[in-house]
Chains A and B, each alone.
Chain A
Amino acid sequence: MTDLRLPLADPAALHSGDSVTLSGTVYTARDAAHARFLEAIDAGEDLPVDVDGATIYFVGPTPARPGHVIGSAGPTTASRCDAYSPALVERGLAAMIGKGRRNAEVKASMLEHGCVYFGAIEGTAALLSQCITAAEIVAYEDLGAEAVRKLTIADFPALVVNDLHGGDLYDDGPARYRR
């Protein structure tokens, strides 16, 4: 287990299959927020968050109970954002956290621009909520659970899925156990 700070100091040192914990700032965004990011880019407007060097976590949390920072907060399926991610990766997005495969276009874009994709486990959403120490909505509040939130995470467990060397844990892991 390697403890990493965000932004990543040495992303090239990571390899697909590495078990890590992440600490630092991430922004939440799902399908609806990504669609608005792309509308803003197409309209020549600034994005509501600076994606250069940033990490996006694909999540739409449950409402926080009183006294809690956030509700249940596990990763959602990243491939629903495949249509949008390359435009953000080209603008310097450094890492993404989600679950499930990325398509060839996203993976090529990540390799070209140096973006790492981490996999988290959706069925650990209650545990993951305890790794989030601060949360505030920073854009698109009308989207509710899909609003863009700035999160501070601490010792958030994840695995490196797509590294900067072409490794993909979703290919290599199953290949080892296929009968």
Chain B
Amino acid sequence: MSEVRTVDVAEVEAVVRKLCVEANHELRADHVAALQRGRDAEESPIGREVFDRLLENARVSAAEQIAFCQDTGYAVVFLTVGQDVHFTGGSLAEAIDRGVAEGYSDGYLRASLVRSPVDRVNTGDNTPAMVHYDLVPGAGIELTLLVKGAGCDNMSALRMLTPAAGVEGMKRFVVETIEKAGPSASPPVTVGIGMGGTFDRAAVLAKRALTRDPTGSPSPDPKLAELEAELVDAINATGIGPAGFGGTVTTVAVHVEAYPTHIAAFPVAINLDCHSHRVRSVTL
């Protein structure tokens, strides 16, 4: 039997607070590099200008500590916890929410969450965080924060395809979703795709796929990597371009994750992230 590792939830709270501030002010270096590659590939003059402004915005945001985007998003947390970890000091979920509330207050970030979709009263501190827990062997803790803008989340889609529709049907669904989103998803987008599992599993896979580091790196599965490259090409062929003003680069990265599914099913979830792709990960 392995040793139990004790972790005070205050440690998680402090990490979440720090990541909320960092993620909202400094794009990950690999994402800046992906934007730079996009700029180099873009053929439209207006499109190149959009990329230049995005890159300048990244510099100003970090230097002046002004949030990269005014939509400072949902705080989506992926917490992968070893089963030998024992959290002390109170509720883990509450500690994560305290970290979000402190980070959003200290970082002058916008409180964008309402307590109910019906009465729409702002919670005032951007809580609750949207937390996904994974329990794994060992005693490690990995925490990833995705600051998820709503404009692009709103343009996301999930469909239960038939096995007969297959990969070709999936590709058509992806292009259709990108076309429908148009400028509203704030391209150049990062596209997270979850295939397989159940209705709910596909959606979580898609969101998790967005956090792949570095942005635009291929799937380790050669078949999925090939599919990702085909999808990048198909999405860029739409001509939507940076900010939707027309151009040859509509996406800087497509990340596909797959999972076992039912003999009768082919769930596909497509989660879009705007040019303000804000992710931070730490190992505790």
Chain A residues with a Cβ under 8 A of chain B: 17, 19, 32, 59-65, 68, 71-74, 76-77, 79, 99-101, 119, 121-127, 129-130, 144-145, 157, 159, 169-170, 172-179
> Among the interface residues B50, B53, B71, B240, which one has the most CB atoms of the partner chain A within 10 A?
B71
Interface of B is mostly: loop
A59 with B239, Cβ < 8 A, contacts A101-B182, A173-B246 known? no
Contact yes or no, A123 B44, CB < 8 A: no
Q: Given A122-B71, A126-B66, A174-B246, list of 10 further CB < 8 A pairs? A: A17-B245, A61-B70, A62-B108, A71-B110, A72-B110, A73-B70, A74-B71, A99-B183, A121-B54, A121-B243
Across-interface contacts of A125 in B (CB, < 8 A)? 57, 66-70, 276
CB neighbours (8 Å) of B122 from chain A are 144
Supposing A62-B70, A65-B65 touch, asked if A176 and B151 sit within 8 A by C-beta, the answer is: no
Contact of A126 among B60, B109, B154 (CB under 8 A): B60
Residues of A within 8 A of B50 (CB): 121
Interface string of B69-112 (1 = CB under 8 A from A): 11110000000000000000000000000000000000011111
| A residues in contact with B54, CB < 8 Å | 121, 123-124
A-B pair count, CB < 8 Å, reads 167
Cβ of B134 under 8 Å from chain A: no
Task: Evaluate whether A169 and B53 lie within 8 angstroms (CB atoms) in the complex, with A32-B120, A126-B64, A159-B46 already known.
Answer: no
Most buried by A among B43, B57, B64, B151: B57
Kindly state the interface size class of chain B when it binds its partner.
35 or more
- CB pair A77–B151 under 8 Å, yes or no, is yes
What 9 pairs across the A-B complex have the smallest Cβ distances? A173-B246, A178-B239, A177-B239, A100-B184, A72-B67, A123-B275, A126-B66, A174-B239, A179-B237
Q: Tell me, rounded to whole Å, the shortest Cβ–Cβ distance linking A155 to chain B.
A: 13
Whether B239 and A175, one on each chain, are in contact in the complex, defined by CB atoms closer than 8 angstroms, is yes
Can you name the residue of chain B whose Cβ is closest to the Cβ of A99?
B183
Known contacts being A100-B244, A121-B54, is A177 close to B66, with CB within 8 Å?
Answer: no
24 contacts between A and B (CB under 8 A): A60-B71, A61-B70, A62-B66, A71-B70, A71-B110, A72-B69, A76-B151, A100-B184, A100-B244, A119-B183, A119-B244, A121-B54, A121-B243, A124-B57, A125-B68, A126-B64, A126-B68, A127-B57, A157-B53, A159-B245, A174-B239, A174-B246, A176-B246, A178-B237
Residue B34 is within 8 A (CB to CB) of chain A in the complex: no
| Other-chain contact of B53, A73, A121, A174 (Cβ < 8 Å) | A121
Please give the distance in Å from A99's CB to the nearest CB on chain B. Answer: 6
- A63:B46 contact, CB within 8 angstroms: no
Which residues does chain A contribute within 8 Å of B72, judged by CB atoms? 62, 72
- A157 — nearest CB in chain B belongs to which residue? B53
Assembly CA distance A127 to B68 (angstroms): 9
Q: Is the CB of A174 within 8 A of B60?
A: no
- The answer for the CA separation of A100 and B275 in the assembled complex, in Å, is 14
Cα A119 to Cα B245 with chains together (Å): 9
- Given A62-B108, A124-B53, A179-B239, decide whether A173 and B245 contact each other with a Cβ distance below 8 A: yes
From B44, B67, B182, A71 is in contact (CB under 8 Å) with B67
**Least CB distance, B250 to chain A, in whole angstroms:** 9
Interface pair A123/B276, CB less than 8 Å apart: yes
Any chain A CB within 8 A of the CB of B168?
Answer: no
Q: Is residue B197 within 8 Å, beta carbon to beta carbon, of the partner chain?
A: no
* In the complex, chain B residues 102-149 whose Cβ is within 8 Å of any chain A Cβ: 108-112, 120, 122, 124
Chain B 162-200 interface mask (CB, 8 Å, partner A; 1/0): 000000000000000000001110100000000000000
Residue contact B248 to A177, C-beta cutoff 8 Å: yes
A100 engages B57 (CB within 8 Å): no
Residues A144 and B111 in contact, CB atoms below 8 Å apart: yes
Cα distance A123–B70 in the bound complex, in angstroms: 9
Q: Knowing A71-B67, A71-B110, A125-B67 are in contact, say whether A177-B183 is a contact too (CB < 8 A).
A: no
Contact across chains for A170 and B183 when beta carbons are under 8 A apart: yes
